[in-house]
A = this chain, B = another copy of it.
C-alpha cells in the first residue's frame, strides 16, 4: 500500500474533525495521496474561506517536501538557506498544519489543517495522523 484509500482518508478526517470540535475551532481539513492530489476535504461550518486553499497546500507541501510543513519555517526566513522556497512548485505553505501520513514507515499521503492558530492546526492535524 503506497497510496491512501478514500475510507482511510475519511477516517483521518473524522478523527481530525473530532479534535477540532473538542478544542472549539472549526477547521478546513484536507487529505492528499502520495502524489499530492486531493482525496478528501471538509470545511467545517464557520471555518474561514482563506484556509480552503491553505489546508490543501499544506497537505501538498508535506508530500512535496516529505516533511511536516512547520519544519520548513526556519529554513525559509530571510538569510536562511531556503529563503524563497515557498514560491516554488506553484506555491508551498511553510507554516505548521501539514503532516505526512505514514503506514509502516511508508508515506501514503498527507493531511493539511488550517483556520485556527498554527498550534491548533498542528494539534488537529496530529489527531488525524494518530488515526492511522
- Chain A residues packing against B (C-beta within 8 Å): 2-3, 5-6, 10, 33-45, 48-50, 52-54, 57, 61, 63-66, 73, 76-79, 81-95, 117-118
Contact = CB atoms under 8 A, between A and B. Distances in A.
B95 A82 contact: yes
A53 B86 contact: no
A82 to B, nearest CB: 6
- Give this chain's copy count: 4
B37 A40 contact: no
A12 to B, nearest CB: 13
B38 A52 contact: yes
A14 to B, nearest CB: 11
Q: Which of A61, A63, A82, A88 gathers the greatest number of chain B CB atoms within 10 Å?
A: A88
Given A41-B41, A54-B88, A84-B86, A49 B36 contact: yes
A72 B36 CA distance: 24
Contacts of A39: 42-43
Contacts of A77: 78-79, 83
A76 B83 contact: yes
Given A54-B89, A77-B79, A63 B49 contact: yes
